[in-house]
Each structure stands twice: as structure tokens, then as C-alpha cells.
Structure 1
Amino acid sequence: MAHIDYYFSVLSPYAYLAGLRLEEIAARHGASIAYKPLDIMALFPRTGGLPPKERHPARMAYRAQELPRQAKKAEMPLNMRPAFWPANAAPASYAIIAAQKAGGGDLAALVHGVLRAVWAEDKDIADDAVVQACLTAAGFDPGLSFSGMLAGAETYAANLEEAVNAGVFGSPFYVLDDGAMFWGQDRLDDLDLHLSGAL
């Protein structure tokens, strides 16, 4: 059975636009997924990237065109100027890590709920109440937003190191156990073809 390490940031519009397609693909091929939220702002300088505010205007102008196009293709709402962005990504990331460890809910729904809160609902994912609402909606104990903080912090830092060592440089990034790597929600079709043996 194939396994996918899914590296992502809860601040990433492209991770949001992936929707639940990764999970649909994994289910089709019987693949497992390990969710690995990470600090994207710490990843960029370690892998040759720049945070959006430091990018060349030409790159930002292209991003301003590309994101709405991708949102339209995915038929998903997208606010190009979220009220709370960039927020402190740690609380929501810790909650996802704690939920993955605890089990009992729908982890994909939690991840997408957090991303949707940023990019479609103008919510502050650094707010405990917002994180707890996402946990509850996905079938998890909302108390995980507090109980998993220490372990979450350690795993969050470890995910960054794993990502750097694995060659990850953006979000979303998918690393398969056979060494294949796919960057971006627009490469999910390629990941699907790879798992089917066609690519």
C-alpha cells in the first residue's frame, strides 16, 4: 500500500484549493496519508524561497491572476485579501497534530476546515474559539486545542526538519514512499496517475 507524507501550511491558499482531492485520490488507490503541517515562513529561507511580501512584484502580479483562476477551476470561493492573513499558524497546526494523534474524527475535514476558515470565511485561525469550532465540526474533542500544545510544538518543529531533509520547498507538497514528489494542488492529477502506474 502506498503512503503519502503531506506537507502543508495552514496559511497556504494552494493547500486550501486542493480541497479534498488528495483524500479522494488516496482512497481510490488504498494509500495512507500522514498530515504534516509546518511553518512555511521558516521553510522558505531554508529552501531558496521568499515569503510573499518579499517577492518581486512580477511574481505577486502573476499570483494575483493565478489564484482566482485556480479557485474558479476548483469551483471554490476564495478571498484574495483574507482579514486575518498571515495569522499565527501554530495554534491550528498544533490542533491538527493533536487530532491526528488522538483519532476519532475526520482529519481531512479538520484540515480543510482550517484552510477554509482563512481563505473563504475571514476567520482568525490563531483564535482558540475558531480552532475549537473546526475541531468540533470535524468530530474531534475541542479540548485538543489546549491538551496537545506541547507535543504539537515538538512535532511542528520536527515536520519542518523532515520537510527540509525530504526536499520539500512549498505548500502543498506530497512525498510518496517510493520517492516520487509532487508540488502544488495542480499536480494532484499527476500524483493520481503515478499511483495508477501510468506516470
Structure 2
Amino acid sequence: MTKTIQYYFVLNSPWSYFSGSRLAYIAKDKNATIDLKPVVLSELFPRTGGQPLKQRSEQRQAYRIIELQRWSRQLGLPIHLEPTFFPVDESLAVRTVLAAIEGDHDALQLVIALGASLWRDNLNLADEQVIADVLVDLQLPVTLIQAAKNQQSYSQLLSDNTSEAISQGVFGVPSFIVESELFWGQDRLDFLEQALTD
């Protein structure tokens, strides 16, 4: 029986950037489907006890940088530790992802590429041209951007995803759920893979 992975993420998260390609590999290897569920961190954190990065202690912020360096080396994924455009208004980019989902395109590859634009390439995800270039590179229709602008229901969908995530115990990103079992963090993908094997 094919299992489904609910994937809760934001583009502003370097940990989501780290998780995308490996998640795609695991899903393909285990014949699982991925249900992409972008959320709104500004809604998620206040309702689950989380804090935006700048409000965390100096010690936590410093250790985050160390861990990003470690995981960048471990995964072989280059990263700008402090991107010029971070935190970025990801609303247009993530709405473009929703448009890709609605159009039955490979939205996960779009998520991976948009994350790389921010975290690897140090580009501005609020810039429409950056999003358009990613779509062209992936051979996806640039008209997805216009669809993202026109579809008023996407804001509600993002909020609904966030509420759904919270109802399932999610408090941070990336988070993955398989058959009601929650896995938080890209460093839990080994356990996710095991759950798909069982």
C-alpha cells in the first residue's frame, strides 16, 4: 500500500532547504507520495511556543550557525549562513508553489529550487524575476506566477495548512507526518524512511 508523507515547510527555513532533495529520494525509493503543506511561521510559532530567530538567545543563535555549517558539510549542500534577503517575504514564491500543486506540476522540485535560490544562491525570493527564472530552469510555465497573484483562496489555504499542522502536533519546520506519526526536523529523515519501510 502506498503511504503518504505530509510535508510541512516554509521556504524561509534552511532546514527545509536541507530536507527537500533527500525527501524526494526517500519518497521515490519507498514508493510514497508527498503532500506538500506550506505553512505560515508567524501563525505557527505564537500558537505552539516557538520564537522567531531574532528573539532567541545569543547562545541559540550561535549554535544554529554551527549546526548549519555541520549539516551543509554532511549533506554536501552549500549554504549562505546569513542570506542578504532573510527573512524574506516568501508569499509570492509559496503561492507559486500552490499554483504548481493545483496545476499538477512537480511542485516539490519547485520547492527545492526556490529554497536553493535563497539559501545557496543568496537571491531574493520576493523578486518576481527570481521566481520566473526558477520556473524557466525547471521548464515550468511562468504563468504560474500570475495564477499565484490571482488566486485569492491561497492565503486561506496557507492558514488552513497551519491550523491543520498544529492539530497534528506540529510546532516547527520541516515536519513530516506518516500515518499520524510526526517527525520534526530534517535530521529525522532516517526515522521517516524507517516508518515507510515498516
Is TM-score (shorter-chain normalized) higher than 0.5? yes
The answer on whether the counterparts of 1:5 and 1:36 sit within 8 Å (CA) in structure 2 is yes
Report the alpha carbon displacement of residue 144 of structure 1 after superposing the two structures with TM: 1.1
Give aligned-pair identity as a percent. Answer: 34
TM-score (norm 2): 0.94
Quick one: distance in 1 between partners of 2:120 and 2:158? 25
Give the alignment of 1:18-167 within 5 angstroms: 18-103=19-104, 105-149=105-149, 150-167=152-169
Superposed CA offset, 1:47-70 (max 9, x none): 111000000111111101111001
Range moving further from structure 2, 120-129 or 151-160? 151-160
- List 4+ stretches of structure 1 deviating above 6 A: none
Quick one: distance in 2 between partners of 1:123 and 1:42? 25
The answer on whether the counterparts of 2:9 and 2:175 sit within 8 Å (CA) in structure 1 is yes
Report the alpha carbon displacement of residue 154 of structure 1 after superposing the two structures with TM: 2.4
The answer on whether the counterparts of 1:93 and 1:152 sit within 8 Å (CA) in structure 2 is no
Gapped runs of 5+ residues in structure 2? none
Range moving further from structure 2, 143-152 or 63-72? 143-152
TM-score (norm 1): 0.94
Report the alpha carbon displacement of residue 138 of structure 1 after superposing the two structures with TM: 2.2
Quick one: distance in 1 between partners of 2:43 and 2:113? 23
The answer on whether the counterparts of 1:38 and 1:159 sit within 8 Å (CA) in structure 2 is yes
Report the alpha carbon displacement of residue 4 of structure 1 after superposing the two structures with TM: 0.9
Quick one: distance in 1 between partners of 2:171 and 2:139? 31
Report the alpha carbon displacement of residue 139 of structure 1 after superposing the two structures with TM: 2.6
RMSD after superposition: 1.2
Gapped runs of 5+ residues in structure 1? none
Quick one: distance in 1 between partners of 2:87 and 2:74? 24
Superposed CA offset, 1:113-169 (max 9, x none): 110011111111011111122222223211111213323222212111111112111
SS of residue matched to 2:77: coil
AA in 1 matched with 2:109: A
Quick one: distance in 2 between partners of 1:191 and 1:172? 12
AA in 2 matched with 1:190: F
* 1:182 alignment counterpart: 183
* 2:4 alignment counterpart: 3
AA in 2 matched with 1:114: L
Quick one: distance in 2 between partners of 1:118 and 1:39? 17
The answer on whether the counterparts of 2:20 and 2:108 sit within 8 Å (CA) in structure 1 is no
The answer on whether the counterparts of 2:15 and 2:185 sit within 8 Å (CA) in structure 1 is yes
What is the aligned length?
Answer: 195
Superposed CA offset, 1:80-137 (max 9, x none): 110100010111110001101102x432221111100111111110111111222222
Give the direction of change, closer, same or farther, for the CA distance of 1:161–1:99 in structure 2 (3 Å limit). same
Out of 146, 154, 172, the residue aligned to residue 170 of structure 1 is: 172
